[in-house]
Chains A and B, each alone.
Chain A
Amino acid sequence: MSRPKTIIEKLWDAHVVAQPEGAPAFLWIDLHLVHEVTSPQAFAGLRARGIKVRRPDLTLGTCDHSTPTTPRDLPIIDPIAAAQVAQFETNCTEFGIPHFGFKNDKQGIVHVIGPENGATQPGMTVVCGDSHTATHGAFGALAFGIGTSEVEMVLATQCLLQRKSKTFNVRVEGLLGNGVTAKDIILALIARIGVGGGTGCVIEYTGSAIRALTMEQRMTVCNMSIEGGARAGLIAPDDKTYEFLAGRTLAPKGAAWDAAVAKWRTLPTDEGATYDKEIFIDASALEPMITFGTNPGQGVAVTQAIPDPGSVADAVERETLKKALAYMGLESGRPLLGRKVDVVFIGSCTNSRMSDLRAAAAILKGRKVNPSVRTMVVPGSMQIKREAEAEGLDQIFRDAGAEWREAGCSMCIAMNGDQLKPGEYSVSTSNRNFEGRQGKGGRTFLASPETAAASALAGAVADVRTLLG
């Protein structure tokens, strides 16, 4: 029998097209997702060379980043964003790429629409000019973000020049406590390993706590792999994966479905396979997490004090932490709990799917958000928007005093007009708290939808567990 392999190695081996002497491997790409921000220069490159898109049938586009979340019958007010969205649609049409334009009823965040339409499947290689492509790893796919030159390469050849990454087993065992979520698992991991802790690695998330997660929760975990520096993060497929996929538009049907499932069942890591790196997390010891700083690794349990730069030995590291606290206008030594916030944002490719909206709605139902807080709920796609409305979630949000908007990246990246004002504080369910990420001068605390909803009610950073009794 051959050497036991991890799922990461199996995926790699199955996709090597060629390994020319002295060059990186050519890796075949099964699914290429494109959006308006990182693709225009790639299409321009194709035009300049006079080449076509090799496999439009393996490519899917959507606009999301620069796309307003105001009603779709209104025009895009920002002329530069309008031009970018228009160029995107022109590019996709010209090159024959199926896509969801601004007014398409399936439009949504690129990492939401892939799984939603059954495009993301186990065993695939998936790339996108976007660092959160690891989201698709939740299906047992090798999925990672690429730059615009690489977008052009994949459009032209359906291949990518790649070097093999190291393998990193993140094993999470045990039962999550009440009010502790998938988002808290990933925030706790990044707080432990730091934002560079996974550099050069592909993570496989394993263990009973991961197996217990739903597909949507698994996407939340995989989504933030990049925030730990990892190239990608994935979870071996199982019956939950197949159940999620069955019947979706682009999933295989009939006999092809049975054949696909049989193939997918061979993907999980073999008994006895080893990883380059391993870490263990006890899920039962986790608490709701929140970030206090300007990178996603600067996180603590919501009840825990902000660390003291004075206790950091390395000079640059100390200055970096001081700079973060100065930007955030925070002092060390105290928890964030009770800290006044101006905005609560529930959305982004990390937490904008049905289960996230349901979790937030369960907390907001029959209550009112604090009048000093602007609360925005932004569904990940127009399909999710309709489904949530059919369930009456929009009414719960509106009754609570929150805004219910159209699909897009919105205040996760603040490119579409949804943004914080300088100095404002937000609790956000998105994935990045970098300086200015949610608007110039804005200050972001990253947390779960549950923590975000509880904070909206309190008008301040809150511990959702106090509402759960």
Chain B
Amino acid sequence: MQKFEAIESRYAILPVDNVDTDQIIPARFLKTISKDGLGDQLFFDWRYEADGSPKPDFVLNTPEAKQCKVLVAGDNFGCGSSREHAPWALTQYGFRAVVSTSFADIFKNNSLKNGLLPIAVPADVHKELMAAAGAVKVNLASQTLTLESGKAVEFAIDAFSKACLLEGVDELGFVLKHEEAIQAYEAMNPPALDTRLVNA
């Protein structure tokens, strides 16, 4: 995973609550067996007309949006399916952080593993961000989000995910180092089943 550096960027506003992962990337694009090429499919059905032309009023189709590394969206962002294609698509488009009042659990987990920072802010800060497009600074080390007004808010992130993002650590590599603990558990807990007997 790429290291997460401090960001200073304009942000794009998506003023919709409960944005689900079917909107972030529609299911028909999940037939791929690779992780690539998903940025073009981000918000596809909100972004493009039936004939494939971009919808001019959708936020990601404005020239400014192309420069935005931060997306500000309504409450409960990323609900619905567990598809990791959602953060893959967001990062491939160019986003490094999403700001909302809250995030769906699986989306949040998936994002943190892909260098996409979910930033949950209080309702008043969220309102200020939603009111007009502007720029923000994101500092992960100090866990602060600084608004254009100069207002700085602290955001929460668990220490482990933070360290992984800052150092670009790979979680699987970390777990593989604890082979002994896994073996000890395995030895103490006989399996409840053997799936290989399923076709017996």
Q: Does A associate with B in a complex?
A: yes
B193 touches A316 (CB 8 A): no
B82 touches A131 (CB 8 A): yes
Given contacts A58-B195, A119-B195, contact A17 B82 (CB under 8 A): no
B160 touches A24 (CB 8 A): yes
Contacts of A117 in B (CB 8 A): 198
Contacts of B27 in A (CB 8 A): 65, 413-415, 437
B84 touches A38 (CB 8 A): yes
**Which residues of chain A from 441 to 462 have any CB-CB distance to chain B below 8 Å in the complex?**
none
A414 touches B28 (CB 8 A): yes
Bound Cα distance A416, B33 (Å): 15
Does B143 sit at the interface, judged by CB under 8 A?
A: no
B15 touches A18 (CB 8 A): no
Does B132 sit at the interface, judged by CB under 8 A?
A: no
Q: Taking CB as reference atom, which chain A residue is nearest B181?
A: A18
Bound Cα distance A22, B182 (Å): 18
Contacts of A26 in B (CB 8 A): 175, 178, 181-182
**Which residues of chain A from 418 to 443 have any CB-CB distance to chain B below 8 Å in the complex?**
422, 432, 434-437, 440
Q: Taking CB as reference atom, which chain A residue is nearest B130?
A: A316
Q: How large is the interface on B (under 10, 10 to 19, 20 to 34, 35 or more residues)?
A: 35 or more
Does A6 sit at the interface, judged by CB under 8 A?
A: no
Q: Taking CB as reference atom, which chain A residue is nearest B45?
A: A436
Q: Taking CB as reference atom, which chain A residue is nearest B184?
A: A17
Interface string of A35-73 (1 = CB under 8 A from B): 001101100110001010001111110000110000000
Bound Cα distance A171, B105 (Å): 23
Contacts of B186 in A (CB 8 A): 158
User: Min CB distance, B51 to chain A, in Å?
Assistant: 13
Bound Cα distance A251, B106 (Å): 30
Bound Cα distance A251, B200 (Å): 13
A146 touches B106 (CB 8 A): yes
A157 touches B192 (CB 8 A): no
Does B76 sit at the interface, judged by CB under 8 A?
A: yes
B16 touches A422 (CB 8 A): no
Contacts of A80 in B (CB 8 A): 31-32
Q: Taking CB as reference atom, which chain A residue is nearest B175?
A: A157
Does A163 sit at the interface, judged by CB under 8 A?
A: yes
Contacts of A98 in B (CB 8 A): 195-196, 198-199
Bound Cα distance A366, B84 (Å): 46
Bound Cα distance A316, B16 (Å): 6
User: Min CB distance, B188 to chain A, in Å?
Assistant: 10
B16 touches A157 (CB 8 A): no
Bound Cα distance A156, B182 (Å): 11
17 A-B pairs (CB sep. < 8 Å): A26-B175, A60-B198, A65-B27, A119-B193, A145-B81, A145-B106, A147-B106, A156-B172, A163-B158, A196-B102, A199-B105, A229-B79, A252-B193, A295-B18, A320-B16, A414-B28, A436-B26
Cβ-closest 9 pairs across A and B:
A196-B76, A40-B33, A147-B110, A18-B181, A147-B84, A145-B82, A148-B84, A434-B22, A320-B17
Give the interface of B toward A (CB within 8 A): 15-18, 20, 22-23, 26-28, 30-35, 45, 50, 74-76, 79-84, 102-106, 109-110, 113-114, 130, 158-160, 163, 171-172, 174-176, 178, 181-182, 185-186, 189, 191-200
